[in-house]
């Protein structure tokens, strides 16, 4: 049903017609038929009906249509026409017949046209009893609805909830920054380790293995490593051994000048106070001295530097009777010590302080020196 049965208006949402208030689904209300008006002595004007002609009323008894001299004194004067009804012998005037009102023809329009009723004089309209309306029940009259969860899910965050998001974003940024710092620090440490290993592998490089000198600058262009080709006189030499790879390893004194940190001179026990005499191939002006103060060899994953004794203090003596002290760190690299330029043919290396052997089953009670460095230029 799309239109109201009472007024013909189009129905909308709800249980009642929005135009007349009639309940949807209830039968159309019945209207009482209009009561025709009672006849009166006063003539009433006819309803406007342009298509129907009304015949004039017949002349009353005793009237004449002749000359004014014979006209009825009660009707001859138009001004006295209203007093006709007051005559005792006047016949009652019948009311004019009203033509039936034709309802308008409804065109082929989907919009309903409300029904047309004949016009009724308001004074003669009779009102019937108004139909009783049922009590309004919200539970029945309101349309059902669906409950929808999370209606505000698309709305912006209200209140102070945005503070949590800001704090979380700041924490993520801080964590990322911390990770970058850690990674960059690890890269710098790795680069430093590679630089140290390169310096250890090349004992003749200027400035390799820093010592007690405050001046780590480059040597003059003619300076060279004088330990190459020098002879070494030692207090004693440990016998050869077999390493973890099954190779026979010797610990001869001349290995202190071969330029290989993986080889070493080694003597049994604590060599504190013992001296090594180094004879140069020719007299030279010495400006720098140094050494690798332990057994700087790693094989089969075992680092032998901390497992043998390390020399942590030495004294260098020259032909003119002068000497210099050098304090060494416990690290497997060449450690240099600058000396005042001195001309000499021999050097005396005295071991002033030696550590104890390494702990555990891999500890070895040997004093070892992997490499000796002497930089200078030929005399003359």
pLDDT in single tens digits along all 380 residues of the chain: 678 888 888 877 778 888 888 788 788 777 666 666 665 554 554 444 444 444 444 444 444 444 444 444 444 444 444 454 455 455 555 666 666 656 555 444 455 555 556 665 655 555 556 667 767 666 666 655 554 444 455 555 566 677 888 888 999 998 988 888 777 654 444 444 444 344 444 444 433 444 444 344 444 447 889 999 899 999 999 999 988 788 899 999 999 999 999 999 999 999 999 999 999 999 999 999 999 999 999 888 889 999 999 999 999 999 999 999 999 999 999 999 999 999 999 999 999 999 999 898 889 999 999 999 999 999 87
CA atoms within 13 A on the CB side of 18: 6
CB 312 within 8 A of CB 328: yes
On whether the pTM is more than 0.95, the answer is: no
What is the model's pLDDT at position 117? Answer: 60
Q: Phi then psi for 197, rounded to 5 degrees? A: -65, -40
What is the model's pLDDT at position 247? Answer: 87
CB 327 within 8 A of CB 355: no
From the centroid of its chain, how far is CA 190?
34
CA pair distance 89, 72, nearest whole angstrom: 13
Q: Which two tokens stand for residue 320?
A: 């003119």
What is the model's pLDDT at position 234? Answer: 96
What is the model's pLDDT at position 15? Answer: 80
CA pair distance 40, 94, nearest whole angstrom: 8
- Delineate the domains of the chain, giving CATH numbers in brackets: 1-46+96-146 (no CATH), 58-92 (no CATH), 208-378 (2.60.120.260)
CA pair distance 100, 202, nearest whole angstrom: 133
């Amino acid at each position: 049903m799309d239109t109201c049965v009472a007024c013909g208006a189009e129905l909308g949402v709800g249980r009642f017609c929005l135009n007349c208030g009639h309940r949807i689904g209830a039968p159309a209300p019945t209207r009482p038929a209009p009561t025709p008006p009672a006849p009166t002595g006063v003539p009433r004007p006819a309803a406007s009906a342009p298509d129907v002609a009304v015949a004039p009323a017949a002349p009353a008894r005793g009237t004449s249509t002749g000359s004014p001299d014979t006209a009825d004194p009660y009707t001859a004067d138009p001004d006295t026409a209203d007093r006709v009804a007051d005559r005792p012998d006047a016949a009652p005037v019948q009311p004019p017949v009203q033509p039936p009102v034709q309802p308008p023809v409804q065109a082929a329009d989907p919009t309903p046209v409300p029904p047309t009723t004949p016009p009724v004089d308001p004074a003669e309209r009779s009102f019937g009893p108004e139909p009783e309306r049922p009590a309004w029940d919200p539970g029945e009259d309101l349309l059902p609805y669906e409950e929808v969860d999370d209606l505000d899910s698309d709305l912006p965050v209200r209140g102070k909830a945005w503070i949590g998001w800001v704090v979380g974003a700041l924490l993520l940024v801080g964590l990322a920054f911390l990770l970058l710092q850690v990674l960059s620090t690890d890269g710098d440490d790795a680069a430093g380790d590679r630089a140290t290993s390169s310096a250890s592998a090349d004992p003749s490089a200027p400035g390799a293995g820093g010592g007690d000198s405050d001046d780590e600058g480059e040597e003059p262009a003619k300076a060279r490593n004088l330990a190459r080709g020098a002879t070494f006189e030692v207090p004693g030499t440990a016998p050869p051994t077999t390493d973890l790879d099954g190779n026979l390893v010797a610990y001869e004194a001349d290995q202190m000048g071969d330029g290989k940190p993986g080889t070493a001179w080694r003597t049994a026990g604590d060599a504190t106070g013992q001296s090594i005499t180094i004879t140069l191939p020719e007299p030279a002006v010495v400006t720098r001295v140094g050494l690798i103060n332990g057994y700087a060899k790693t094989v089969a994953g075992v680092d032998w530097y901390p497992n043998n004794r390390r020399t942590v203090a030495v004294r260098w003596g020259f032909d003119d009777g002068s000497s210099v002290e050098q304090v060494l760190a416990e690290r497997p690299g060449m450690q240099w010590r600058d000396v005042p330029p001195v001309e000499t043919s021999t050097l005396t290396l005295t071991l002033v302080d030696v550590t104890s052997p390494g702990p555990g089953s891999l500890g070895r009670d040997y004093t070892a020196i992997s490499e000796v460095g002497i930089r200078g230029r030929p005399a003359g």
